[in-house]
Amino acid sequence: MTEIRYLETARARLAYAHTQGEGPLVVFLSGYKSDMDGTKAVHLEARAKARGRAFLRLDYSGHGRSGGVFEEGCIGDWAADAEAVIRAVTDGPVLLVGSSMGGWIACLLTRRLPEVTGFVGIAAAPDFTEDGFWAGFDEAQRRQVTEAGVVYLPSAYGEDYAVTRRLIEDGREHLVLRAPLPMPWPVRLMQGTADEAVTRETALRLLDHIDSPDIRLTLVKGVDHRFSGPADLALIEAAIVDLGG
């Protein structure tokens, strides 16, 4: 694998791995509590190396190898982390690949980065703090997160999720499905029908909301939120190649 490097920022020491190569820089943005050592990130890096293509994977603050405390972070922080690493690595074109929460962060970055050439969303989860967490809370959970500052939710993918008041409040400042979302470049969205974390309705809502001249959604029957089986990885890779990565 590519050497891990670090970027010092005011908030945290951010870990990343940058593979030199041709074409737009393919940036993999991982999900909530996930990290850059996950199956998809490592596989896509290896394939980029084999093809001589530029690739970047990174850890947000409080995630993986980066410094910081997860419970103190929020969407705005993690989007800023990703932007800082990307800008430190390149000022050229980038192709954003966002998994789960990374899909939301990618949507935010399309408004900030100077040259985006495409977006690949894998079980993208825009606005999940409001439409998923907050909308799904009962009155007791809403009261707990508001008064105590945190509520813990069970996860099928590891430790319980710590959902903080700051995460909810900051998420409301970064919603992307309530306003126009122009993406004047190709977009490829992928969604498993057996995903229990992100519904196909979310994927369809994002499909309808993005304003792109070339946007497609692929539904894969029986695939869960991990979207990391051999056939799934091949689909993601094919989408990246299709968009010039």
Which residues are known catalytic residues?
Answer: 100, 195, 225
How many helices (H) and strands (E) would you count in the chain?
Answer: 9, 12
Cα separation, 36 vs 209, in Å, equals 28
The neighbouring-strand residues paired with 190 are 122, 218
The neighbouring-strand residues paired with 151 are 163
Q: Is 134 helix (H, G, I), strand (E, B) or coil?
A: helix
- With beta carbons less than 8 A apart as the criterion, state whether 119 and 106 touch: yes
In a 10 Å sphere around its CB, with 0-12 CB exposed, 13-18 middle and 19+ buried, how is residue 9 labelled? Answer: middle
The residue written with tokens 């910081």 in the block is 68
Q: Is 77 helix (H, G, I), strand (E, B) or coil?
A: helix
- With beta carbons less than 8 A apart as the criterion, state whether 119 and 193 touch: no
Cα 232 from chain centroid (whole Å) = 17
